[in-house]
Amino acid sequence: MGRAEYVEVRVKAALNRVEGMPFRWSLNPYRGCRHGCGYCYARITHTYYDLDLAADFERVIFVKVNLPEVLRAELSRPGWKRELVAIGTATDPYQPVEARYRVTRRCLEVFARRANPLSLTTKGTLVVRDIDLFQELTRAADFAVNISLISLRPEVWRRLEPHTPAPASRLRAVERLASAGIRVNVFVAPILPGLTDRPEDLGAVIRAAADHGAAGVYPGVLRLGPGIKEFFLEQVGRQFPGLRPYYQALYAGGPNPPPSYRREVAARVEALAARVSFKTLPPRPAPLGCQLPLPLEVGRL
């Protein structure tokens, strides 16, 4: 991964309308991501701007510098119904550039002032910086932080998520958030066939999540859309060469593995999660009536 190029952009709209999901709106403060996860579906969006989905996605990061101001205007419209918004559905809101620009934090301040239901998904341990705002949101609205953690095995982390915080660091972030009274879930997503789907691997993540105060775990099996499929198969061929034929066969029918495989993995996670005790939290504020988004690896920029 080469030296980062941060491109400041001004946007005309903040919230993205989402179809076919349990939430209708998403927000992404950045486009592109320094985390470099080999399976990231959002890579394809860089090709819309004549950039490549490999090095450019990790190197050229677009910073939506005026996003908080645009968001404030959108949430102030008379027609806005304080619906649930999901942050971080495409690229990570707590990737390293957030420490400099604080776009995510400034957007959180807007949501907190409006007491707007919100969920936030990240791999970044910088998330603990904003515990004060999370506590404010927790008191006022339906709110949760979701930490993505696919494996505790160093060889998987280093090869497929090379520039993310270590799994142990993410678990410490879970613990700090939970200790502060924040609802924090662990997204075991994406589950990678042949790499992170074994009962012993899933069980290790689930036990660690419970031990560190998570309120729950949610699975999501790897989806490989056009463009990302070819890129990820190349990554697998280089990092885990013995698995490439398996992936080619498993994903031969489309972007998802067969339903039988997905049902098997879901049942496995459910059985493993039933063996541990997750943190019990007070009910969410009732008047807003929103539900958390499912842990699917989907979203729009």
What are the extents of the domains in the chain?
A: 5-223
Confidence of residue 1 (pLDDT cuts 50, 70, 90): low
Beta bridge partners of 27: 87
Distance, C-alpha 197 to centroid of its chain: 19
Model pTM above 0.75: yes
pLDDT in tens, 104-131: 999 999 999 999 999 999 999 999 999 9
What is the full DSSP assignment across 272-291?
HHTTS-PPP-PPPPGGG---
Query: Regarding predicted confidence, which is higher, 280 or 186?
Result: 186
pLDDT score recorded for residue 103: 98
- Give me the CATH code for the 5-223 domain, please: 3.20.20.70
Residue 254 has pLDDT above 90, yes or no: yes
Stretch 13-17: mean pLDDT:
96
Mean pLDDT of all residues in 184-192:
97
Q: What integer is the mean pLDDT of 25-30? A: 97
Give φ, ψ of 85 to 5 degrees. Answer: -115, 135
Quick: pLDDT tens for 31-44: 999 999 999 999 99
> Per-residue pLDDT for 288 more than 90?
no
Query: For residue 229, what is the DSSP state?
Result: H
Q: Tell whether the model's pLDDT for residue 279 goes beyond 90.
A: no
Cβ–Cβ under 8 Å, residues 212 and 175: yes
Lowest mean pLDDT among 161-165, 274-278, 281-285: 281-285
Instruction: Give tens-digit pLDDT for 203-242.
Output: 999 999 999 999 999 999 999 999 999 999 999 999 999 9
Contact present, 177 and 131 (Cβ < 8 Å): yes
- Give Cβ neighbours of residue 100 (< 8 Å, ≥ 6 apart): none
